[in-house]
A and B are shown apart, each in its own frame.
Chain A
Amino acid sequence: DQQVKQNSPSLSVQEGRISILNCDYTNSMFDYFLWYKKYPAEGPTFLISISSIKDKNEDGRFTVFLNKSAKHLSLHIVPSQPGDSAVYFCAASGINNDMRFGAGTRLTVKP
Chain B
Amino acid sequence: NAGVMQNPRHLVRRRGQEARLRCSPMKGHSHVYWYRQLPEEGLKFMVYLQKENIIDESGMPKERFSAEFPKEGPSILRIQQVVRGDSAAYFCASSPSRAGSGYTFGSGTRLTVV
Contacts and interface: CB of A to CB of B under 8 A. Distances in A.
Interface of A: 6, 31-32, 34, 36, 41-46, 49, 51, 89, 93, 96-104
Main secondary structure of the interface of B (DSSP, over half): strand
B45 A100 contact: yes
B100 A32 contact: yes
B33 interface: yes
Contacts of A42: 107-108
Contacts, number: 66
B8 to A, nearest CB: 14
A46 B56 contact: no
B22 interface: no
A67 to B, nearest CB: 19
A101 B100 contact: no
Nearest to A96: B56
A101 B42 contact: yes
29 contacts: A32-B99, A32-B100, A34-B102, A41-B107, A41-B108, A42-B108, A43-B4, A43-B91, A43-B105, A43-B106, A46-B102, A46-B103, A46-B104, A49-B100, A51-B100, A93-B99, A93-B100, A96-B48, A96-B55, A96-B56, A97-B55, A97-B95, A97-B98, A97-B99, A98-B33, A98-B99, A99-B45, A99-B99, A101-B35
